[in-house]
Amino acid sequence: MTIIRYYPDNCAVCGAEQKNQHVFIHTSYLPLLQQIYWEIIGADPTKCTVCGYVSNPISKSPGKVTKEWLQSEEYVNNDGIDFKSGYADLYYKEYKVELLNRRIEGAFIAIFTTCLFCFEEHDFENGVWCSYLALSLIDKLKRQKYIKTDTLKLMRAGLLRRTGQFNRLIKEFSGCTFEKVYYNRYLSVLLERAIQKNSANIPDEELYRVIHGHD
């Protein structure tokens, strides 16, 4: 079950009152990487209905973002990417905002979530493209405020699989052990898929089974 609460807040760019979301998820399982994401963030960004600013929360300092930039072709049309998922569109815009302000960790989380929504909607081409963008940001993440190193490593392993870099994944992660048992279980699924050169979605049921240690 998911509980969403809204609270009013003012857009940091145009001042219009908007409704931020607070999402509380009480569910037995979600696809693992999505679950990790929710553990980090816990809410979707909000898009201002007046100026188009996307942020979490909407009152967060816009930094270099201006009203003009929000109307630019690259922002409005997501650099020409035609997403199938409305959430992917929303998170890609947050990624653009964070990147403009050189908030690399925020940009990474936003583009990573864009990938999740693309794959969920079977929008593979855009999902793979955004996975490459996410991978390029991981290399720039020197300090992580929210994301623990193990989590980041696991996210990287997932992105390597999605981008078809199977040999690299096997080379980097064979023999790698995490503190959390379910991370290790998830990694074993990724490695197994990498050996099969399989970058497709892993069924939720299978993940649930593996993560909870059932055969």
Residue 141, interface with Zn ion (CB under 5 A)?
A: no
At its nearest, how many Å lie between Zn ion and the CB of residue 41? 21
CB of 109 to Zn ion, least distance (A): 22
Looking at the Cβ atoms of 58 and 189, the one nearer to Zn ion is: 58
Whole-angstrom distance, CA of residue 18 vs CA of residue 21: 10
Integer Cα distance of 74 and 80 in angstroms: 7
Of the listed pieces 40-48, 96-104, 149-157, 193-201, which binds Zn ion according to CB under 5 A?
40-48
What is the residue type of 44? D
Which residue, 91 or 186, is less far from Zn ion as judged by CB?
A: 91
Please return the burial class of 75, using the count of CB atoms within 10 Å of its CB with bins 0-12, 13-18 and 19+. Answer: buried
Q: Which of residues 43-82 bind Zn ion (CB under 5 A)?
A: 48, 50-51, 53
Number of residues that bind Zn ion (CB under 5 A): 8
Q: Is 187 in the site for Zn ion (CB under 5 A)?
A: no
Binding status of residue 159 toward Zn ion by CB under 5 A: no
| Cβ-based nearer residue to Zn ion, 13 or 159 | 13
Segment interacting with Zn ion, rule: CB under 5 A, options 5-13, 27-35, 37-45, 139-147: 5-13
Q: DSSP letters of 93-161?
A: HHHHHHHHTT-HHHHHHHHHHHHHHHHHTT-HHHHHHHHHHHHHHHTT--S-SSS-HHHHHHHHHHHHH
User: Which 12-31 positions form the footprint of Zn ion (CB under 5 A)?
Assistant: 13-14, 16
Count of Cβ atoms closer than 10 Å to residue 63 Cβ? 14
Task: Decide whether 66 or 184 has the Cβ nearer to Zn ion.
Answer: 66
Q: How far apart are CA 160 and CA 194, in angstroms?
A: 9
> What's the one-letter identity of residue 137?
L
| Least spacing, CB of residue 70 vs Zn ion, in Å | 8
Q: Write out the residues near Zn ion by the rule CB under 5 A.
A: 11, 13-14, 16, 48, 50-51, 53
